[in-house]
Structure 1
């Protein structure tokens, strides 16, 4: 007999049951003796399926740097705009530099003076050396001149250090991009006074992005054991790719590669974070965006239970099981998760028969005349119902 789930057939079956019930009630028989005919029954067989599993992910730029002022000064010029793409070394801001220019000039002057004094003392040493050789003066005067020359050489080193520090301070008044990236918000405008440490902007490199997601300790152990069993001893699978679901629910067009994981479990939650790298050539993903990592998870020896074959009582899920005497028995089960129009469960045995449709008519212990339903017929019926 071919499967036909039209309303007319179920109406006919239900009407036949009502007539049979009325006849039996008129003969004084109990209602539990009612036999319903052509009740669809589905045989359960274990399966292995790939179920996508999602994890909440934190998306970060491959490079993210806070650009801060190193010296105090007024913002003299702003060379870039918010959202602008910049190159490494490109000027971003110019702070007032008059004070540092004066420091550089002063250090240069002191250095020139120190070098002149050093040259003078060096000449004095040479002059006295000739006189000592001719025994005109005592050697002690030559030693004194040499000591003065050493002091003047030290003065050169000191003033060179002062000049270098002044030049470094002057260079800090021009703030440059540390790498190729995008300029973030600019809180200070031209004329604003900034002090050392004030945040001028952020630079982000989003040519690639990192997605961090956390897994439980049990998931981590399963992952690592699976790798050990398959003799893949490297830290992580180089060709292992994962998908990214963006906040609008659409799948990101580029796949990512699982790269590494944190060293320790997070206290309190007992989770550990994995890192996935995604290409971002279109700059679609921004730093700080949200999404979900999607990975395929293989479930073996599980059973697919049609949702329409189940009912719930006080947060417990039930189905009707058909026994060898064609009587239905209420059976509780634990759904592991939803899978389309099915529940996934491991609470059954191969060959168990469940009532596929018409459970509203049934009671525990009721006898029926079953009508076998194939898996394909059941699936087609479930899909067509939507």
Structure 2
């Protein structure tokens, strides 16, 4: 194409049509050029995507389970320890055996303590005899004083000897009581109905005071302790003070270590007094009946609570994306223009996020978020709530 000399062309035109006409012609030419450019720019900015699946959000009341790792303990758990030194003469029960309250478990050697009891009995008899002799002597001296044969001071001395002899009886009785108590410690009995644990000391072993002989547990009922965060604790306590039930179902479910749900439900009873320094958590206690004694002391499991949230929205996870720990969705305005919207999930619920902060009727891009971006326009293909949730419900 040949180039055109604009100065030459304008000069020719000015000679033929005049300067005024040329100015008017250039004005229309410039206006036409800018109009074309403006139209092309608008055509480039407006992008309409067809048949983009869109879901309209509606508020819901959600009841969902939340699980916590728990530690299980027997309602009663006692360490059976020797109170005196001696040899294990006999073991009357076997490991893992159920025993009744007062049943004999162990017998320690008792010869030494039997001799101590016999010695204490002898001293008690001696003290009683001395007291009786002192009493007779005092009565004899009383008669002599009454007849003015001896002075009253002699009678007073006899009374003092009698009191000393009587105090000797009290001392001998205390010694006998201690000896009998020591002897009773050689026979070790069950403090309550329960199951005995392993025996670290076998028959014939020497034990000293404080040595562990076994444990005994009552597991007709068990406690399950689970820890919650400080925020969860505050939420629970505020709801309780306002007379609300944060937990919709007062019966608590226990999931055993094999994944099976325990047959019996428990009751939330109480909580610890202080927060744990290292984790900032606090433990709640749940009591479970255990009539079949399936659960043992020290077992593990998970506590499952049914929590209820009102006026929340279910946002499919596939409709969201994350950037630097923030969650986003694409939301449509009234003109069907896409806007990016951030939100903070309250809880995962299967393949959904439970979210707050949306309004009823808000529309989000349900599928194809990779095709859209902030500012584009779409032609929505509305997806019914039932269709969307039924499609995803199999993943719950």
Length-normalised TM-score, structure 2: 0.80
Would the aligned equivalents of 2:194 and 2:216 in 1 still touch at CA under 8 Å? yes
Q: Does 1:263 align with 2:273?
A: yes
Q: Does 1:54 align with 2:64?
A: no
Bigger CA radius of gyration: 2
What residue is the counterpart of 1:17 in the other structure?
Answer: none
Would the aligned equivalents of 2:317 and 2:353 in 1 still touch at CA under 8 Å? yes
Structure 2 counterpart of 1:45, from 36, 51, 58: 58
SS in 2 for 1:287: coil
Residues 346 and 31 (structure 1), Cα distance of their counterparts in 2 relative to 1, 3 Å cut: same
Deviations 1:297-352 (A, max 9, x none): 22232211112223445544333333334344444433232112211122433222
Q: Does 1:90 align with 2:100?
A: no
How far did 1:103 drift? 0.6
Write the distance in 1 (CA, Å) between the matches of 2:395 and 2:294.
38
What residue is the counterpart of 2:23 in the other structure?
Answer: none
Structure 2 counterpart of 1:320, from 318, 330, 344: 330
Query: How many corresponding residue pairs?
Result: 354
Q: Does 1:310 align with 2:315?
A: no
Write the distance in 2 (CA, Å) between the matches of 1:326 and 1:118.
112
Q: Does 1:138 align with 2:148?
A: no
Superposition pairs of residues 5-44 of structure 1, within 5 angstroms: 36-44=49-57
How far did 1:366 drift? 4.5
What residue is the counterpart of 2:288 in the other structure?
Answer: 278
Which region of structure 1 is more displaced relative to structure 2, 319-328 or 182-191? 319-328
Deviations 1:24-43 (A, max 9, x none): xxxxxx99877554332110
Residues 385 and 254 (structure 1), Cα distance of their counterparts in 2 relative to 1, 3 Å cut: closer
How far did 1:74 drift? 0.9
How far did 1:49 drift? 1.2
How far did 1:122 drift? 1.8
Which region of structure 1 is more displaced relative to structure 2, 100-109 or 247-256? 247-256
- Computed over aligned residues only, the root mean square deviation of the Cα atoms, in angstroms, reads 2.8
Structure 1 counterpart of 2:77, from 42, 64, 71: 64
Write the distance in 2 (CA, Å) between the matches of 1:79 and 1:267.
45
How far did 1:268 drift? 4.7
What residue is the counterpart of 2:205 in the other structure?
Answer: 192
Superposition pairs of residues 339-350 of structure 1, within 5 angstroms: 339-350=349-360
SS in 1 for 2:154: helix
Deviations 1:167-199 (A, max 9, x none): 111011111111111111210111111111111
How far did 1:363 drift? 4.6
Write the distance in 2 (CA, Å) between the matches of 1:31 and 1:91.
95
SS in 2 for 1:130: helix
What residue is the counterpart of 1:221 in the other structure?
Answer: 234
Which region of structure 1 is more displaced relative to structure 2, 98-107 or 239-248? 239-248
Write the distance in 1 (CA, Å) between the matches of 2:388 and 2:118.
89
Write the distance in 2 (CA, Å) between the matches of 1:250 and 1:241.
17
Q: Does 1:301 align with 2:311?
A: yes
Write the distance in 1 (CA, Å) between the matches of 2:129 and 2:363.
106
Q: Does 1:250 align with 2:260?
A: yes
What residue is the counterpart of 1:205 in the other structure?
Answer: 218
Structure 2 counterpart of 1:75, from 88, 107, 112: 88
Residues 316 and 216 (structure 1), Cα distance of their counterparts in 2 relative to 1, 3 Å cut: closer
Would the aligned equivalents of 2:351 and 2:395 in 1 still touch at CA under 8 Å? no
Deviations 1:230-272 (A, max 9, x none): 389xxx99x9432222222222222222222233333354433
Residues 385 and 227 (structure 1), Cα distance of their counterparts in 2 relative to 1, 3 Å cut: closer
Write the distance in 2 (CA, Å) between the matches of 1:219 and 1:102.
63
How far did 1:144 drift? 2.8
How far did 1:77 drift? 0.9
Write the distance in 2 (CA, Å) between the matches of 1:170 and 1:110.
17
Residues 351 and 270 (structure 1), Cα distance of their counterparts in 2 relative to 1, 3 Å cut: same
Which region of structure 1 is more displaced relative to structure 2, 148-157 or 125-134? 125-134
Write the distance in 1 (CA, Å) between the matches of 2:190 and 2:360.
65
What residue is the counterpart of 1:21 in the other structure?
Answer: none
What residue is the counterpart of 2:117 in the other structure?
Answer: 104
SS in 2 for 1:162: helix
Superposition pairs of residues 350-361 of structure 1, within 5 angstroms: 350-361=360-371
Structure 1 stretches of 5 or more lacking a match?
Answer: 1-29
Write the distance in 2 (CA, Å) between the matches of 1:331 and 1:240.
37
